[in-house]
Amino acid sequence: MAAPFPPFTLETATKKVRLAEDGWNSRTPEKVSLAYSPDSQWRNRAEFVRGRAEIVGFLTRKWARELDYRLIKELWAFTGNRIAVRFAYEWHDDSGNWFRSYGNENWEFDEAGEMTHRHACINDLPIKESERKFHWPSGRRPDDHPGLSDLGL
């Protein structure tokens, strides 16, 4: 079971978003996959992913390419068993080119609080290393680090 459970309130939806952010910032595909139902369906850019095994494979490939990954998610809207999120993450490739990737996600959950559907739209913006805004050590974003709105993103 993946608390909090639907139907969501402002408090529980906000908590669910932060837990998702924390999981992705761990960059541990197996751990992240447990937040999703065994038959979860994703659309991530132009890639379609089905089930936990494919989620693990997808995230393993992702974090092998997107180095020094740092993510911030922010609640956009919620109702019942659905949450809409906006996010940004910073990363660099193996040539040292930095990017900030912006996007939106729509999530749907089952009664156990596991995500059954994830639809993500993402755009990549090349940035200079000096333009980075996400400067915490690898892992969970510190509670006192600004969020997207605070950073003007």
Q: Which residue spans within the chain are E strands per DSSP?
A: 36-44, 47-50, 67-79, 82-92, 98-109, 115-127
Q: How far apart are alpha carbons 93 and 130 in whole angstroms?
A: 16
Q: pLDDT band for 42, please (50, 70, 90 cuts).
A: very high
Give ∠ CA 150-148-107 in degrees, rounded to 5.
Answer: 145
Strand partners, 71: 89
Tens digits of per-residue pLDDT, 127-151?
999 999 999 999 999 999 999 999 9
List, in order of start, the domains of the chain with CATH numbers: 10-131 (3.10.450.50)
Dihedral, CA atoms, 132, 133, 135, 141, nearest 10 degrees?
A: -140
Tens digits of per-residue pLDDT, 7-22?
999 999 999 999 999 9
Can you give the pTM of this predicted structure? Answer: 0.96
Report pLDDT for 2.
79
Residue 1 clears pLDDT 70, i.e. is over it: no
Tens digits of per-residue pLDDT, 90-128?
999 999 999 999 999 999 999 999 999 999 999 999 999
Q: How far apart are alpha carbons 90 and 64 in whole angstroms?
A: 14
